[in-house]
Structures are given as C-alpha cells and as structure tokens.
Chains A and B, each alone.
Chain A
Amino acid sequence: MNLQGLVIQLLSGMSVGMVIFLIAVGLSLIFGTLQVLNLAHASIYMLGAYLCFWISSMLSQVSGSFWWSLLMAPLLVAMFGGFLEVLLLRRIYGREMLDQFLLTFALILIIGDLCKLAWGVEYHTVDTPWPLDKAIIFGGLVFPRYNVFLILSGPLIYVGLWSLIRYTRLGSVVRAVTYNREMANALGVNVPLVYTGVFMLGCWLAGLGGALVAPMSAVMPGMDMVVLIDCFIIVVIGGLGSISGAFLGSMIFGLVTAFGILVAPRLAIAFGFILMIVVLIIRPWGLMGKPER
C-alpha cells in the first residue's frame, strides 16, 4: 500500500466517521438527558435518508433540490421525533430499562415497515448535488468533493452543538436537567418541555445524518441496523451522554474501520466491537464520560 492509498483511506474513514458522529451524538445527547437508550435512533436516521430522497425527487425540477431537502428532511424528522416523545416515550420514563428497550425496539420495527410501505423495498439513490459532484485532484490524489464536505460539516456541527450546550441559556437549562432533574424542576424549569426539545434535537441530528448520507450510499430498508450498532460502539467508546466523547469516538471508529478493512477485510467489523469491549471493561463510562454518580 502506497502513501496515496493511505491518505485516501484516511479521508474516507473520516468522512464515514463524521456522518456517524451526527447520528451518535444525537443518541448520546438523548441518553444523557432523558436516560433512555433510544434503539430507534438509527431508524430516525433512515427516515431522514428516505425523506431526503423523497423531497429531492419531488423537487427534481427545481435547481438545488438536494439543498432544499437537506433543509427540510431533518426538520420533518425532528417533528416526527417530537410526536413520538409526547405520545409514547413520555409514558416510560422511570420504568425499567427493559421496557425502554422494548418500546424503542418496537419503533424500529414500525418505522422500518412504514418506510417499506411508503417507498418500497428497492434501492433509491440521490444524485450528488452541484457543486460537490466533482472530484478534487491534488498531487495525484483523486477524492470526491462531497466527502470533503462531510469531513468539514462534522466538526462544524460539533462546535455548534458544544457551544449551544456550553454557552447559551438554553444549554445551561439542558445541563441543569441532565444533572438533577428534580432540582431543575423545583427551580421552575419545564422539564417535560426540555425532554421533548432534546429528543427533537437528537432526531434532527439523526435526520441530518440521514440526509447527508443519501447521496453517497443507497437508501434502502435495513440501512438502520448497521448504523445502530456502529452508534453503540461510538457512544460507548466516547462515553454515553458526552458530546465531545461522541466526536472522539466517531473519529476513532471511522479510522479503525477504514484501516481494519486493509488489515483483515472479513473481520473488519469485529475491530469496532473489540474496541468497545476493551473500553467497557477498562473504563465503562467511556473515554470522555464521567463515572456514574
């Protein structure tokens, strides 16, 4: 393997990592605040990808149809998420973990089948949007512009999200609820509203991830399960509930998978799990997380 190949592998690993970051950070945020491990999070991502496909094919006459769908699909997904939270998830807070797992698992089945009903079982593709449909050629390296766009958008979202939580009033309310729900409630914070808001934000991020993935891979049933497991690996490595952890975890995961394929193609998926097992055993709260209080 020459140097060019390694650089390409590095870049593609990072672009995969950055898309999964968007999904994993939503999962982590929701877990941190709501204390619910939302198994259906990847299904929300799949819904985002389908909606992106649907909207951009509806608007195929309009120029920049992808950019419109990139704007609208995550918003629709967030609204759907809000609907789910108010209607269903709200009923199971404080219940046993098993109930939460099963409810969100039921949502995987329902969302998966609804997508099949709406868009069929065949593959769908979304064209790479202008002006990102060309490749960048740099010193003999050929690399798609779209992947560069993905690599750049990951850190952008990360910084935005981190500042939102760290510096805004909204962020401090969310942190207060995460830290001590009862106390925040006693101080007049509308906790259910914060829960709905955080859940919608998480869904928006997943939807954004889905919409961004649509031009670079086929939109089809089953795309959710693969990503779900990847997200688990990432949030465990980084620490459940930590935004920076999800970012770090995604980078590590993207690179380990990209280079793992070079070393042992058949066992590449196992590397992620091995990493997850090692982190869980040595430092269960993850690289950036805090030990349970």
Chain B
Amino acid sequence: MKSFFKQRNNGKAVGLLAAFAFFAVLPLFIGEGYISLVNEMLILAVAASGLNLMMGYAGMVSFGPSGLYAVGAYTTALILIYTEIPFGLALIAGPVMAGIISVVVGWFCVRLTHVYFSLLTLAFSQIIHTIIFGWYGFTHGDDGIVDIPVPEFLSSITNYYYFSLIIVCICLALLWMIVNSPFGKTLQALRENPERTEFVGIHIRRYQLAAFVLSGVFLGVAGSLYCGFNKNVFPDFADVMKSTEMLVVCLLGGIYYFLGPAVGSIVYIFLDKTISSFTEYWPLALGLVIIVLLIFMRGGIVGFFSESVAAMKERGRAKQHVSH
C-alpha cells in the first residue's frame, strides 16, 4: 500500500480522495434512480479497467470479455439460487470461476497474435454464450435467472451502492498496483515490442496468460457485482454487443490512461441514458460518437484533456523526471 501512495504526487492523491468522497456523499443528494445509474457506472468501470489491463497495457485486443463477465455473473447467480452458500462466498466464487475459465481459454488464446487472438477470444465467448443459452435445465436459457436472493442488508439500493463502491475502489487500487508493478511494466514493454522483450529473457506467453487471467478475474468481479445489483442475469451478458460495449467504453475514456476506462464508463452510461430517453436511435448516436472519437480525439476523453493541459504541466513534469 505504501508504494501505492508513493508513486503519485500529492495532487493526485488529493484528487483521488476527493473523487472517493464525492461518490460517498453522492447518495445524499440524488434520488434512487440516479444512485442505480451511478452504481452501474461503477461496476462497468471495474469491467472496463480489467479489460484494459489486457488491452491497453498488454496490447491484447479481446473480442470476448463479455464471456468472462457472464461467467462471474452466472456463477454467483447459480450458487445463490441452487445452494444455501452465503452471499459473500457466492460473490467471491464468481471471480474465482472466471479466473479458472480464463486460465483454460487464455492458455489457447495467447498462442495466437493480432486478429487471430481476437477471433479466438470471440469464439470462446460465443461458446460460453451458447452454453448459457442452450443449457436450459441448469441456466434457464433465454429466460435468464430472475429474483436472485440477496441478503436483507444489501437489498436497498443505497446500501448496495456503498457495498459496490467499496469493492470497486479496492479493485481499482489493486489494478493500479498491478500496472505500476514490475509485472505491469513488463506488460507494457511486451505491447511496445514483443521481440525485444523476449530477448531480454521474458517468457512472453506466460506474461500474456497472467494478464489474461487477471483481466478475467476483474471481469468476473464486475459480473458478480452486477448480478447482485440487478438481481437478474440473462444470456445476453455474454453476447458480442456486451463485449463491444466494453471496448467502446475503454476507447471513449482512453486506453493508454489508467483512469480512461473508468471515465469512459461514466460518460458512456450517461450518454446512453440521456440519449435513449429522447430517441430510440441511441446506436446511431453512439456510432457517430465513436467515429468522431477515432478521427478527432484519438486519446479518448482522458487523453484529450491531459494533452490540452500538458503544455501547462510541461515544466512540472520535466522537474519530476529529473528527481526520479
């Protein structure tokens, strides 16, 4: 935990604490509908940040994050409806199961590169989707699992909000430590130049598999949290649209920035709800937003702002480099 604070200057730490305080007092000022909305943003932030560990940091573009997300959600849901295991354990089982599945899926996927890697991740997530969809007797197929029992103290919207806020903060802190650890730096080296990284003596596939599994675990956390939040799970948690949604969220915020996916999920859900409220053509609007982002704002929202303030910070950053 020490290094977590050491690596950031005071301004950033204050900013983070302020953000946490903001989210913590938010429920006092807004209605329950909006609390749910913010809760959704928080959960999507974990999923997208987890995906970005693999995509932005390690440069492995996955087309199938939704498969692992759904594994998390369904594991928790199935345990809760079929067994008496307490909620906390069911919630932990989600990411554990997602991690186990990621080891298997990842073991195959990291053998491929570029577009083949992406297509294989897509195929595996489609298999997961088909299993959920087709195994009617166990997963209730396209009816989904509804009315999942959640303990009394978490059934109110506000309480669940605080519960997920804490888990989301822990996850983001863990991810922050991972990307700044030697492991995280190795992943970035691997993204920039796999050949050279290999020559330095790094076992590329092992690192990629580790990134794949870690990313899968965080996707599982998000899935399990969403299961408790929504109290219903459906097979479309695993479909292609959900995967692309996560990819778009990362792009929207900026994949080369730690907070990019988190900012992306806040903006994405905000846009989704606002635009959907006055037109049914939200996909059209989203498509246009993506094109504008790709052509005019390549670094995403966070990239755009950090570049525009870069000039101001130029001198400060130069000093920082010297002191390192």
**Residues of A near any B CB (own CB < 8 A):** 31, 37, 88, 91-92, 97-99, 101-103, 105-110, 112-114, 116-117, 225, 229, 232-233, 236, 240, 266-267, 269-270, 273-274, 276-277, 280-281, 284
Contact = CB atoms under 8 A, between A and B. Distances in A.
A101 B294 CA distance: 11
B127 A112 contact: no
A185 to B, nearest CB: 23
Query: Which 8 pairs of residues, A with B, have the shortest CB-CB distance?
Result: A109-B287, A113-B284, A106-B290, A110-B287, A109-B283, A266-B134, A106-B287, A270-B130
Contacts of A225: 240
Contact of B61 (A101, A103, A276, A284): A101
A280 B112 contact: yes
A162 B226 CA distance: 50
A227 to B, nearest CB: 13
A280 B127 contact: no
B115 A240 contact: yes
Contacts of A114: 284
Nearest to B244: A105
Nearest to B127: A273
Nearest to B59: A96
Contact of A110 (B240, B247, B284): B284
B248 interface: yes
Contact of A266 (B55, B111, B136, B247): B136
Contacts of A107: 287
B237 interface: no
- Of B55, B136, B287, most buried by chain A (CB within 10 Å of CB) is B287
Nearest to A98: B61
A108 B244 CA distance: 11
B138 to A, nearest CB: 12
B24 interface: no
26 contacts: A98-B61, A98-B247, A98-B255, A101-B118, A102-B251, A102-B294, A105-B247, A106-B288, A106-B291, A110-B287, A113-B283, A113-B287, A225-B240, A229-B126, A236-B119, A266-B136, A270-B126, A270-B131, A276-B119, A276-B120, A277-B120, A277-B127, A280-B120, A280-B123, A281-B120, A284-B112
A102 B63 CA distance: 11
A284 B116 contact: yes
A125 B119 CA distance: 33
Interface of B: 55, 61, 63, 108, 111-112, 114-116, 118-120, 122-124, 126-127, 130-131, 134, 136, 240, 244, 247-248, 251, 255, 281, 283-284, 286-288, 290-291, 294-295, 298
Contacts of B284: 109-110, 113-114, 117
B287 A97 contact: no
Contacts of B108: 277, 280-281
Contact of B286 (A101, A109, A229, A274): A109
Contacts, number: 108
A88 B55 CA distance: 24
Nearest to A36: B115
Contacts of A284: 112, 116
A92 B291 CA distance: 11
Given A98-B255, A270-B130, A270-B134, A103 B290 contact: yes
Given A273-B127, A280-B120, A101 B247 contact: yes
A99 B95 CA distance: 29
Contacts of B294: 91-92, 99, 102-103, 106
A99 B293 CA distance: 10
A110 B292 CA distance: 13
A18 B13 CA distance: 60
Nearest to A39: B244
A260 B47 CA distance: 35
B323 to A, nearest CB: 33
A98 B290 contact: no
A232 B125 CA distance: 14
